[in-house]
Amino acid sequence: MTDPIYAIPDIHGQDALLEEALDRIARDGGPGARVVFLGDLVDRGPDSRAVIERLMLGQAEGRPWTVLRGNHDQMFLDFLDSATLHSPRVSSGLAWLHFHLGGAATLASYGVAAADPEVAHAEARTEVPQTHRDWLASLPLWYKAGPLLFVHAGIRPGFALDAQGPDDLMWIRAGFLDHPDPHPWLVVHGHTALDHPAHFGNRIDLDGGAGFGRALWPAVFEGRDCWLLDDTGRVPLTPAG
């Protein structure tokens, strides 16, 4: 029997939902369950700092947790490093501090007001612990386990893993979401928020929109088989149609 592996999609600063998701995983797989977090730990929700601290503590305690870096985590790092407000990959042109992207909420969780970007940057450089910045910067962009590939956004079809760029792994939509053919792995990702997680045959999008006030769905995999975890236990997630 294949050892189960669990996944939690885009948390977006929702620490209370993260705690609930981890409780569901513990009930299903015990305290030593192997968990992959699909990135976008920060932004939009009120508790980005608490999310980071919970995940850092879990890893420090030796829990078998793999945390991936998402595009929102990268935008947070870019702001801290160089006061970058705009990413060329944001098609709307909105600044990271805009409420829709949620950077201001992330800074607020560290006690930093974001009314003036220059002042906010200076305060953030002081208030955000260097350990948080170093940890975020160290996070991998993908994790492979047997027939599964866990990644934040997706992959560029037809390219080997070592040929995938950070923009592909953290930002891709076009060319991946509409790709109908099998990949070398079942790709498990977030990034593109849905009303509910969905299985597309060659990929599974677990992002149910926690960053927009919807549920945070943990999932469990045994081989290529997938179940979502709700308060009652496992609910099969299978390809539509």
pTM over 0.85: yes
For residue 20, report the phi and psi dihedrals to the nearest 5 degrees: -65, -45
For residue 66, report the phi and psi dihedrals to the nearest 5 degrees: -110, 120
Q: What is the pLDDT of residue 1?
A: 53
The pLDDT profile of the chain, 241 residues, written as one tens digit per residue, is 578 999 999 999 999 999 999 999 999 999 999 999 999 999 999 999 999 999 999 999 999 999 999 999 999 999 999 999 999 999 999 999 999 999 999 999 999 998 899 999 999 999 999 999 999 999 999 999 999 999 999 999 999 999 999 999 999 999 999 999 999 999 999 999 999 999 999 999 999 999 999 999 999 999 999 999 999 999 999 998 5
* Total residues found in the chain within this entry: 241
Distance CA 104, CA 48 (A): 11
Distance CA 68, CA 75 (A): 14
Q: What is the fold, at CATH topology level, of the domain defined by 5-236?
A: Purple Acid Phosphatase; chain A, domain 2 (3.60.21)
Count the neighbouring beta carbons within 10 Å of the beta carbon of residue 86. 14
Query: Domain limits of the chain?
Result: 5-236
Consecutive H or E run containing 170: helix 166-171
Q: Residue type for 164, please?
A: Q
CB 10 within 8 A of CB 211: yes
Q: What is the pLDDT of residue 128?
A: 98
Q: Beta strand 225-230 with 233-236: parallel, antiparallel or unpaired?
A: antiparallel
Based on its alpha-carbon atoms, the radius of gyration of the chain, rounded to whole angstroms, reads 17
Q: Residue type for 202, please?
A: N
CB 39 within 8 A of CB 11: no
Name residue 227's beta-bridge partners: 220, 236
